[in-house]
Amino acid sequence: MPPGPRETESVSAEPGGAHAQANAAEPRRSIHLGILGRTPEFTPRQWRVFLIGATAGFFDNYDTALLSLALRQIQASLRIAEARLGAILSLIRLGYILSFMLTPIADVFGRRRLLLYTIVGYTLFTALSAIAPGERSFVIFQIGARAFAGAEATIALVILAEEVDAGVRGWAIGLLTALSLTGYGLAALAFGAIRIIPYGWRGLYSLALIPLAVIIPLRRTLPESRRFERESATERAGLMRPLGELARVYPRRLGMMLAVQVLRNLGSASAGAFFPKYLQEVHRWTPAGVSKLFVLGGGIGILGSVIAGRLSDRYGRRTTGAIFMLMAPLLTLWIYSAAGASVVPAWILELFFDSASWAIVNSYSAELFPTSYRSTAASAASIAGTTGGALGLFMESVLYRWTGSPWSAIRILTLLWLGAPIVLFAFFPETASAELETISPAI
């Protein structure tokens, strides 16, 4: 389908406007984060938004990682059959779809309020997962946690994209992605002690109560997005308006974003979810060994999002994103085919390229649509990824019955992942260093 009048293949960078002028007048500072390097120069307001967004993403990734890391233990405790495991994980992942019922609220009533409420909802459902008596209740509680976590991560991303300067937007989102992914590191550290922590995997889930202690200071310090505040009430009236406008105004952009998310997650979901189980069953790793790999190797791998953010600001989102996204599935095929110690460097590199491409896709999902329905659009992109991932996990169960091996099933699914970088490079516009109003003007 040819692009519409606003859907051009490139976007000129035209810095300026009320948002850029407001930020230019404020003092700025940066800090050094060790191996993550020096941060962009942020104003105090931008720092508050950034740190709160990173906190929200951190706990979301802790919960997601814990399900994968402790999958073998959860499976044994709840007596889940091997043939049903992929379908159960698929059903839990579909909980993210429910977040699409929450995120449009942010385009009507504000980003700040919804972010705080979603943090509370996510925390409560994750804590309930710790006391789930059986398979069914665990799945229900995890679905609830995913619904709030999906909305939480989307709103944090949108607030940051709307507040930071155009020239460092990719870098800022990449850094947010990296710090959020450190939640995986905490989960890995905790998982290494699963044999001594009271109640095992249930004790690990109970740590989700920590975010509740952060809610009170968040409520006082989180500002509302300036871009949202500048919109008149009539521009954002009606809860259903963002949903309708999203498909009507930029259908091509929406379609290509959904395609990339579905293809990427269709191949990657099973590979990521089953990797700790693969290490323990095929390579005979202990939980402590898996924990060390996720902490040490993961610390290197998540640097990909920071590096990708900086490179995409300098050399463009489309080219860098396509290269990083191509390398991730190729390395995944190696991981699930290799023998011996080579799986370790292959996994670290795969995580590097996957987190890099994830940061760039996150940037696109926040850039390609106007303020009046940016949260809805970012959520739609997330839902597409969730649907692709859920379908991939379900297909793993189907292919397992056909191949007799979950690892063969994962290799087959990974081939579908290769379609995502092709779509990104062939159809996405270039958005690096352009103001959001230039990239996606309201129509």
pLDDT in tens, 401-422: 898 888 999 999 999 999 999 9
Does the residue 340 lie in any domain?
A: yes
Q: What pTM value is reported for the model?
A: 0.72
Provide the token pair at 378: 């970012």
| 394, containing H or E segment | helix 374-403
Provide the token pair at 33: 């984060």
The number of beta carbons lying within 10 Å of the beta carbon of residue 142 is 26
Does the residue 366 lie in any domain?
A: yes
More confident residue, 109 or 134: 134
Residues 412-439: what's their mean pLDDT? 90
pLDDT above 60 for 236: no
Taking alpha carbons only, the member of 177, 388, 102 closest to residue 268 is: 388
User: Could you report the per-residue pLDDT of 31-70, keeping only the tens digit for each?
Assistant: 555 555 566 677 777 787 787 777 777 777 787 788 888 8
Does the residue 79 lie in any domain?
A: yes
Taking alpha carbons only, the member of 84, 190, 100, 188 closest to residue 138 is: 84
Does the residue 81 lie in any domain?
A: yes
Does the residue 274 lie in any domain?
A: yes
- HEC-encoded secondary structure of 21-90: HHHHCCCCECCECHHHCECCCECHHHHHHHHHHHHHHHHHHHHHHHHHHCHHHHHHHHCCCHHHHHHHHH
Percent of the chain at pLDDT above 70?
Answer: 83
Q: How many domains does the chain have?
A: 1
pLDDT above 70 for 15: no
pLDDT above 90 for 318: yes
User: Could you report the per-residue pLDDT of 380-407, keeping only the tens digit for each?
Assistant: 887 888 788 888 888 888 898 898 888 9
Bridge partners of 10, per DSSP, are 430
User: Could you report the per-residue pLDDT of 162-189, keeping only the tens digit for each?
Assistant: 888 878 888 888 888 887 877 877 887 7
Does the residue 23 lie in any domain?
A: no
394-400 long-range CB contacts below 8 Å, 24 or more apart?
394/86, 394/87, 394/90, 395/86, 395/266, 395/270, 396/86, 396/270, 396/274, 397/83, 397/84, 397/85, 397/86, 397/87, 397/90, 400/82, 400/83, 400/86
Residues 292-311: what's their mean pLDDT? 82
Residues 290, 276: contact at Cβ < 8 Å?
A: yes
* CATH for 139: 1.20.1250.20
Predicted confidence at residue 8, as pLDDT, reads 40
Predicted confidence at residue 211, as pLDDT, reads 65
More confident residue, 135 or 194: 135
pLDDT above 60 for 238: no
Residues 247, 255: contact at Cβ < 8 Å?
A: no
Range of the domain at 351: 37-439
Predicted confidence at residue 72, as pLDDT, reads 82
pLDDT above 70 for 440: yes
Predicted confidence at residue 234, as pLDDT, reads 44
Does the residue 254 lie in any domain?
A: yes
More confident residue, 282 or 93: 282
Provide the token pair at 123: 């925390």
Does the residue 11 lie in any domain?
A: no
Predicted confidence at residue 40, as pLDDT, reads 64
As to burial, measured by CB atoms within 10 angstroms (0-12 exposed, 13-18 middle, 19+ buried), residue 248 is exposed
pLDDT above 90 for 424: yes
As to burial, measured by CB atoms within 10 angstroms (0-12 exposed, 13-18 middle, 19+ buried), residue 192 is buried
